Amino acid sequence: MNGSTENTKGLPYTELEAGGKIYLLRLTARSAVRLEERLGMSVYSAAAKTDEMKIVSEMLYALIEGLKPEFTRSDTYTVIDEYISGGGSLGSLVNEIAEALRISGFFGKDPAAPKNSSAL
């Protein structure tokens, strides 16, 4: 389920459905820094390596923990397994991640944003 919306803090996010649950995906500044520290590379470099499962799982973890700090890395593996068991594929998960990065301000401006607002 790929849709973008805003939370009550005004931060845009996308939604990922897995295992009958909806996960909100948003890369915050804090989660981006943590991701880069864990991977030893930039978010942009990681996005270019989404053919590696470690990268996909760490990116998904960072996207979920951005709005849900109590989420754990172990929870991420369950989400991935449930996503695939529910008919998703790794390719479609990577597309969900890419959309969440775009909504979070990476890879260009959100076209739905007001003209006078600045991108992240």
What is the average per-residue pLDDT within 5-16?
70
Q: Kindly compute the dihedral angle of the four CA atoms of residues 47, 120, 29, 74, in this order, to the nearest 10 degrees.
A: -40
Provide the CB-side half-sphere exposure for 6 (13 A, CA).
7
71-82 pLDDT, tens digit per residue, is 999 999 999 999
Q: Is the confidence at residue 37, as pLDDT, over 50?
A: yes
Nearest-angstrom CA–CA distance, 114 and 106: 17
Confidence of residue 7 (pLDDT cuts 50, 70, 90): very low
Distance of CA 118 to the CA centre of its chain: 20
79-105 pLDDT, tens digit per residue, is 999 999 999 999 999 999 999 999 988
Confidence of residue 6 (pLDDT cuts 50, 70, 90): very low
Q: Is the confidence at residue 36, as pLDDT, over 90?
A: yes
